[in-house]
Structure 1
Amino acid sequence: MKHSNVFVQTAVLSLLVALSLPAYSWTRALTFEQGAIGSKAQSGSDQDFDDAAGGSYITDERVLTGSKAAKLTVTGGSTAFGEWGGIINYPELLRKGDEVWFSVNTYFPEGFNYDSTGGGGHLKFLRIHAQKSDGSNSGYNDWYMNPEASTVPHKFIYEGQQQWFEFGAPSDEVQRGRWETYEMYIKFDNVPADQGGTAVVRVWKDGRLLREITGAETLNSSSDTSDRAHLFTYWNGAAPKTQFMYVDDIVVTSDTPSNRDASGNPMVGGASSGGGEPSVRPAAPQLNVE
Structure 2
Amino acid sequence: MATSDSPLNVPNVTLAVARLEPGGGGVSPPSGTDDGTGAEFFEDFEGLTVGDDITNTVFDSGFQVYAADDQASVGTKSARFDNNDGGSQTGIQKNLSSMLGQGDEIWVRLDARWQEGWLFNNNIGWKFMRVHTRPVGQSNAGYVDWYNCGGRRDQGLDSVAWYHRSEPEADYDIRAAGSSRAADQIIPGEWHTYEMYVKFDTEGVDNGGTALIRSWIDGVLLEEVRDIGTMADAAHEVDRVHICTFFNPPTSAPFESFDPVTEQTAASAGAETGSPQAQSMWIDRMMIRTNANPPVNTDSAGNLCIGV
TM-score class, shorter-chain normalisation, is: 0.7 to 0.9
Deviation at 1:121, TM superposition (A): 0.6
- 1:180 matched to 2:183? The reply is no
Task: Write out aligned runs for 1:202-281 (5 A).
Answer: 202-237=214-249, 238-254=274-290, 255-270=293-308
C-alpha distance in structure 2 between counterparts of 1:268 and 1:50, whole Å: 23
- 1:143 matched to 2:179? The reply is no
TM-score, structure 1 length as denominator? 0.78
Runs of 4+ in 1 over 6 A off after TM superposition: none
Out of 98, 109, 112, which is 2:118 matched to? 112
Q: Is the 8 A contact 2:84 2:275 kept in 1?
A: yes
C-alpha distance in structure 1 between counterparts of 2:136 and 2:116, whole Å: 44
C-alpha distance in structure 2 between counterparts of 1:207 and 1:173, whole Å: 15
Out of 113, 122, 126, which is 1:123 matched to? 126
TM-score, structure 2 length as denominator? 0.74
Opposite residue 161 of structure 2, the aligned amino acid is P
Q: Is the 8 A contact 1:32 1:41 kept in 2?
A: no
Q: Is the 8 A contact 2:150 2:161 kept in 1?
A: yes
Q: Which has the higher contact order (CA 8 A, sep 6+)?
A: 2
Q: Is the 8 A contact 2:149 2:162 kept in 1?
A: yes
Aligned counterpart, 1:134: 137
Deviation at 1:148, TM superposition (A): 5.3
Out of 174, 177, 201, which is 1:164 matched to? 174
Aligned counterpart, 1:193: 205
> Which structure carries more helix by proportion?
1
Deviation at 1:36, TM superposition (A): 1.0
Number of equivalenced pairs: 236
Structure 2 unaligned blocks of 5 or more: 1-37, 153-157, 250-273
- 1:90 matched to 2:102? The reply is no
Deviation at 1:192, TM superposition (A): 1.3
Deviation at 1:41, TM superposition (A): 1.9
C-alpha distance in structure 1 between counterparts of 2:56 and 2:70, whole Å: 19
Give the 3-state SS of the residue equivalent to 2:286 in structure 1: strand
Q: Is the 8 A contact 1:26 1:91 kept in 2?
A: no
Deviation at 1:203, TM superposition (A): 0.8
Deviation at 1:26, TM superposition (A): 4.9
